[in-house]
Amino acid sequence: MCRHRGRRAPLGKGAAVSSRPAHRDQPSAGLRKSLGVVDGFAIAASSTAATTSIGIGLGVTAGAVGLHLPIIMLLAFLPILGIAGAYSRLNRVEPNMGSGYVWVGRSLSPWLGFLVGWIGIVSTVVFLAYTTTVTGSALIQLAGESGLHRLAGLRLDPDSTAQSTALGIVVLVAVTLTAVTGIRSAANLQKYLLVFEYAVLLGFCGYALFAGPHPFSLDWINPFTIPSLQQLAQGLLLSVFCFWGFESTFSVSEEIKDPRDASRAGTITLFTMLGLFLLGSFAFQRVLSLDELTAHGAQGLTYFGDRLAGEPLAALPLIALTFSAVASLQSGVIPTVRGMFAMSRDRTLGPLWARISPRYGTPAAGTVVIGCVAAAVAVLSLVIPKVGDLVLASVNAIGVVVSLYYALTALAAAARFRGALRESPSLALRAVVLPVVSALVLLGLGGYLCWTFYTSADHFEISPDNGWFMLLCPAVMLLTGVAAAAWAKWARKSPYFATGRSVPPAAPAGPAPEPAAEPA
C-alpha cells in the first residue's frame, strides 16, 4: 500500500493496550485482537439476523412477489455471492475495518469511497432505529402471550410504534453498554443467542415442511409467474436486504487474530443464511396463505408458531425473534462504530470516533454516541404510527442504498484485480467478471425501483404506499453523504481526498496476496 506524505504512523498490529483506568478515552491506543472465525461468524450472523428476516421480512417480501419466496431468495443470493467474493479477495490483500470505504476510495474514487462509508453508517442507524421498535414490539407480544395485556391502565399494543419504541430504547441502551465493555463478550453473548434461535427455527420450520396444510407447488420456484417486472425487482431488493450484514465480519478484521478468518466467517454466514431463508420460505408457505403472510407483518413469526403448536411451545418462535432482534441491535452498533473509526483515522470524520478506551480496548465513546443517535432516529420514526409500515419503509430505503454500496465495492474489486484478465480464464471470471455482473444487477435493481417509486405517485405523504416518500428516504441518505464528504475535503482537509489512500492499521497477516491479480 502506498504511503502519502504527512500520514500519521499506523496503529501497530497487536499493539498493547494499557490496563490502567482512564478518565477519558485515548485516541492512540490499539484495538485488541481477540476474535476467531467463530466470533466473526457470530457477529455476521447476528447482524444478518435470519430469525428477524424470516419472521418479519418474509411477510414484507410476500407482499411484493406473492407465493414465490423460495425462488426470490435464491435469485437474490446469486449477485450477493459475487459481492461476497469481491469482499473476500479485497480483505485478503488489505484487511481494514473500513472495508468498502477503504477499498472503493483506493480503486475508484475518494468521493465514492466516502459515500460507501457514509451509506454504511446511515443505513445501519436506520436499521438500528427500526430494530429498536421491532424489539419492543416482540417484548410486548411476549407480555401478551404471558397474559399481560394492560400496564398502568394502558392497553399494550405490539403494533404501536410509540409503545414499541419506548421499550426498545431501554434494550438498545443495555446492548450498547455491552458493546462498550468488549467485543469478545458481545460475540460470546451472540453465540448463545444464535444457538437458541437456530434450534427453534430448525425445529419449527422443519416440522412445518411436513405438517403444513398447503401442498407444495412448482409455482413457488417459477420466477416467470411473478405478475410484473416491478414486483420482481422489489422482491429481489427486499431479499438482498435479508442477506445484508454478512460483511459485518470484515468490519472487525483488525480485531480478528487472522484476517483470513474474516473471509471464512463471511462465506460461512452467507451460505448459512441461504439455507435458513430457503427453509423458512418453504415452511411459511406450507403453513400460511398469502393473505395470512401479508396481513400479519411484524407479528408473522408469532402467528406461524401459533398455527403449529399450542402454548407454551408456540411462544418459542417469538422468544427466538426477540433474541434475534437484541443480537441485531448489538451487532449493528459494533461494525458501524468500527467503520467510523477507520474514517476518523483518515480525518474524514472527527477525532471522537478514533478514541479507544484503555480499560476496554474498544471505541467506547463512539459506541455510546451511535447508540444515542439510533435512539433519536427511532423517536423521529414515530411519525409512522404502525410497526409494519415502519418496517416496510425502512427496508425499502436500506435496500436501495445497500445495493449501491455493494455494487461499488464489487466494482472496486474488479478494478483492483483487473490484471487477472491477462491470466487464466478461471481467475478472470472470479476476480473481475462475477463482481462486475453482480454490481450491474444490483445497480439495475436499485435504479429501476427508484424509477418506479418516482412514477407511481403524484403527491407526497409520509406513507410506505407513497412512491415519493419511498424515494426521498434513500435520496436523503445519499445527499447527506455528499455534503459530509464536501465538509471532510474542504473543512477538515482530509488527505484521504488527495490520495484515495487510507491510513493502514498494520501489515496484513497471513500469506502474501495473489500477485497475478494485482494491477501494476
CA atoms within 13 A on the CB side of 482: 5
What is the rounded distance in angstroms from the CA atom of residue 355 to the CA atom of residue 369?
A: 12
pLDDT on residue 87: 93
Closest CA to 297 of 464, 159, 124: 159
Q: Which of 140, 514, 149 is nearest to 322 (CA)?
A: 140
Comparing 190-199, 441-450, 501-510, which segment has the lowest mean pLDDT? 501-510
Q: Is the pLDDT of residue 170 over 60?
A: yes
- Select from 38, 318, 34, 332 the least CA-distant residue to 191: 38
pLDDT of residue 508: 41
- Contact call for residues 452 and 233 (beta carbons, < 8 A): yes
User: Please, what sign has the CA dihedral across residues 279, 283, 286, 291?
Assistant: negative
Name every residue whose Cβ is closer than 8 Å to that of residue 151 and which is 6 or more positions away in sequence.
Answer: 143
What percent of the chain clears pLDDT 70, i.e. is strictly above it? 88
Contact between residue 51 and residue 197 where contact means Cβ atoms under 8 Å apart: yes
**Number of Cβ atoms within 10 Å of the Cβ of 158:** 22
- 476 versus 310: the higher-pLDDT residue is 476
Cβ count near 274 (within 10 Å): 19
Inter-residue contact 344 to 350 (CB < 8 Å) = yes
Give 37-490's CATH code, choosing from 3.40.630.40, 3.40.140.10, 1.10.3720.10, 1.20.1740.10.
Answer: 1.20.1740.10
How many residues belong to the chain? 520
Mean pLDDT (whole number) for 69-92: 94
CA angle 412, 496, 486 (to 5 degrees): 95
Question: Averaging pLDDT over each range in 193-197, 310-314, 339-343, 371-375, which range is the top one?
Answer: 371-375
Q: What's residue 200's pLDDT?
A: 92
Q: Which long-range contacts (CB under 8 A, 24 or more apart) does 464-468 make?
A: 464/384, 464/389, 464/392, 464/393, 464/396
Say how far apart CA 423 and CA 407 lie, in whole Å. 24
- Lowest-confidence pick of 204-213, 327-336, 418-427: 327-336
Q: What is the pLDDT of residue 505?
A: 64
Q: Is residue 401 scored above 80 in pLDDT? A: yes
The pLDDT of residue 298: 63
Residues 6+ apart with CB under 8 A from 344: 350, 351, 352, 353, 354, 366
DSSP-derived secondary structure for 256-269: BSSTHHHHHHHHHH
Confidence of residue 104 (pLDDT cuts 50, 70, 90): very high
**487 CB neighbour count, 10 Å cutoff:** 13
Tens digit of each residue's pLDDT (9 = 90 or more) over 57-79:
888 889 889 999 999 999 999 99
**Residue 28: band (very low, low, confident or very high) from pLDDT cuts 50, 70, 90:** very low
Report pLDDT for 124.
85
104 CB-near residues (< 8 Å, 6+ apart): 112, 113, 116, 408, 409, 411, 412
Other C-beta atoms closer than 10 Å to the C-beta of 458 total 8
Which residues on neighbouring strands pair with residue 150, listed in sequence order? Answer: 155
Domain coordinates of the chain in residue numbers?
A: 37-490
pLDDT score of 197 more than 70: yes
Q: Is the model's pLDDT at 144 over the cut of 90? A: no
pLDDT in tens, 224-245: 999 888 899 989 988 998 898 8
Residues 6+ apart with CB under 8 A from 372: none
**Least confidently predicted of 16-20, 175-179, 227-231, 434-438:** 16-20
pTM for this model (two decimals): 0.83
Q: For residues 354 and 27, is the Cβ–Cβ distance under 8 A? A: yes
Alpha helices in 182-299 (DSSP H): 183-211, 229-243, 248-251, 260-287, 290-296
- DSSP assignments along 122-171, one per residue: HHHHHHHHHHHHHHHHHHHHHHHHTT--EETTEEP-TTBHHHHHHHHHHH
Do 403 and 445 meet the contact criterion of CB atoms below 8 Å apart?
yes
- Of the candidates 194, 56, 42, the one whose C-alpha atom is nearest the C-alpha of residue 135 is 56
pLDDT digits (tens, 9 = 90+) for 373-382: 999 988 988 8
Q: What is the pLDDT of residues 147-157, one digit of tens each?
A: 887 887 788 88
Q: What is the mean pLDDT of residues 167-196?
A: 80
Please state, in angstroms and rounded to a whole number, the distance separating the CA atoms of residues 510 and 259. 7
